[in-house]
Amino acid sequence: MSALLDAPWYARSVVDGRTSERVAFEEDVLALADDVWRVARRLGRDVTEAEDLVQETYARAIRAWHSYESGTNLRAWLLRILHNLAIDQARKRQRSPEPEPLEEGDYYLYNRLEASGADAIDRLIDQLSQGPLLAALGALPVIFKEVVVLVDLGDFSYQEAADVLEVPIGTVMSRLHRGRRALKKALADGSVPA
Amino acid sequence: MSTHIASCAEAETRLQSYVDRVLTPAEVAQIEEHLLLCPPCARCYQLERDIRAQLKRVCDEPCPESLKVRLRNLCAECDCADAD
Ligand SMILES: [Zn+2]
């Protein structure tokens, strides 16, 4: 206490050895914890894995905080760290490349449901609860899942998602559309008798 | 005012962009005209929106408080700071 009061003027912006700039950075990244958590929760296989991903993301962010350019998109910067961790993890876990979702028309789900009777659609809407939907999302290959999570859950623009994933916008769009199709296929497979 | 959407197949290719609101005003007008006249396409559009809304709802889970505390400690303890 008194040490702080006695401190010379130029040291007053330092808290526990951290500059006010650094403290402000910490506050800004901590304020994004819910956003980071929502993405990590979908990329990790369970709560423990999601927690590890978030902690490692923050540990890396703090170590690299000088490389963050003030005024640029902090959420995209932070999620890029998470993305790199998740991709590394997926690579280690799986030696062979993940199977890509089948190409099916966007109306695939609708047509399947139509074929199996009118109330199948209403039934699906009712069933779009936690279990089947999260299982379908969880089963997507990670590169498709990421885009769906960023755009459909995080309301990221194509450009912001492209910044996180470090791919062109066209790649974001094609992965997004294919990811959504795969999601609909998984829902149809799960809720409609084949 | 030349182009109408000629087929449901054409509507299908635009539906995703319509949902994501990245179409031009003219393209929006075209697809909305089609959706108005074509119940199956309108139903598909509704389904797209329902899936997305539900996805958001079930995934709307805040970061656990215990994890937030750990993150705060982790930030405060990191002594790699301020190495200008
Ligand atoms: Zn149509």
Judge if A84 and A53 occupy the same domain. Answer: yes
Domain assignment present for B34: yes
Judge if A71 and A124 occupy the same domain. Answer: no
pLDDT of residue B83: 47
Q: Could you say which DSSP state residue A96 is in?
A: S
Report the C-alpha gap between A191 and A183 in whole angstroms: 12
Judge if A125 and A163 occupy the same domain. Answer: yes
Q: Which residue of B has its CA nearest to A177?
A: B16
Question: What backbone torsions phi and psi does residue B30 show, to the nearest 5 degrees?
Answer: -65, -50
Question: Which residues in chain A are contacts of B10 at CB distance < 8 A?
Answer: none
Domain assignment present for B1: no
Domain assignment present for B50: yes
Domain assignment present for A17: yes
Domain assignment present for A57: yes
Any alpha helices (H) in B1-84, and if so which ranges?
A: 8-19, 25-37, 39-58, 65-77
pLDDT band, residue A11 (cuts 50/70/90): very low
pLDDT of residue B25: 95
The mean per-residue pLDDT over the stretch A183-192 comes to: 75
The mean per-residue pLDDT over the stretch A20-27 comes to: 89
pLDDT of residue B13: 85
Query: How far A124 CA lies from chain B's nearest CA (Å)?
Result: 10
**How many pairs of residues across A and B have Cβ atoms under 8 Å apart?**
111
The mean per-residue pLDDT over the stretch A79-96 comes to: 85
pLDDT higher than threshold 60 for residue A192: no
Give whole-number Cα distances, A48 to A41, A51, A55, B65, B69, in Å.
9, 5, 11, 14, 16
* Interface membership of B78 toward A (CB under 8 Å): yes
Question: What backbone torsions phi and psi does residue B80 show, to the nearest 5 degrees?
Answer: -80, 10
pLDDT of residue A13: 52
pLDDT of residue A122: 65
Report the C-alpha gap between B63 and A44 in whole angstroms: 14
Q: Is A90 helix (H, G, I), strand (E, B) or coil?
A: helix
Report the C-alpha gap between A30 and B55 in whole angstroms: 25
pLDDT band, residue A130 (cuts 50/70/90): low
Report the C-alpha gap between A136 and A149 in whole angstroms: 12
The string of pLDDT tens digits covering residues A61-72 is 999 998 999 888
Q: In order along chain B (84 residues), what is the average pLDDT of each group of 10 residues? A: 72 89 93 92 89 87 94 83 47
Residue A185's CATH number: 1.10.10.10
ipTM value: 0.82
For residue A182, give its domain range: 104-189
Judge if A57 and A119 occupy the same domain. Answer: no
Residue A51 CA to ligand 1 center (angstroms) comes to 45
Domain edge (last residue) among A36, A70, A95: A95
Angle, vertex CA A184, rays to CA A46 and CA A114, nearest 5 = 140
Domain assignment present for A156: yes
Q: Do B54 and A133 touch (CB under 8 A)?
A: yes
pLDDT of residue A76: 94
Report the C-alpha gap between A70 and A62 in whole angstroms: 14
pLDDT higher than threshold 70 for residue A118: no
Query: How far A17 CA lies from chain B's nearest CA (Å)?
Result: 8
How much is the mean pLDDT over chain A? 81
Report the C-alpha gap between A76 and A82 in whole angstroms: 10
Q: Do A106 and B12 touch (CB under 8 A)?
A: yes
pLDDT band, residue A12 (cuts 50/70/90): very low
For residue B52, give its domain range: 8-83
Beta-carbon contacts of residue B76 (< 8 Å; ≥ 6 apart)? A16, A18, A26
Count of structural domains within chain B? 1
Residue with the bigger pLDDT between A10 and A92: it is: A92
Core vs surface per residue A63-90: b (16+ CB within 10 A) or e: eebeeeeeeeebbbbbbbbbbebbeebb
Q: Do B76 and A19 touch (CB under 8 A)?
A: no
Count of structural domains within chain A? 2
pLDDT higher than threshold 90 for residue A154: no
pLDDT of residue A63: 92
The mean per-residue pLDDT over the stretch A116-135 comes to: 68
pLDDT higher than threshold 70 for residue A153: yes
- Tell me the residues surrounding ligand 1 (ion) with CB < 5 Å: B 8, 11, 38, 41
Judge if A58 and A133 occupy the same domain. Answer: no
Domain assignment present for B19: yes
Domain assignment present for A6: no
pLDDT higher than threshold 60 for residue A188: yes
- Which region among A3-7, A166-170, A173-177 has the lowest average model confidence (pLDDT)? A3-7
Q: Is A15 helix (H, G, I), strand (E, B) or coil?
A: strand
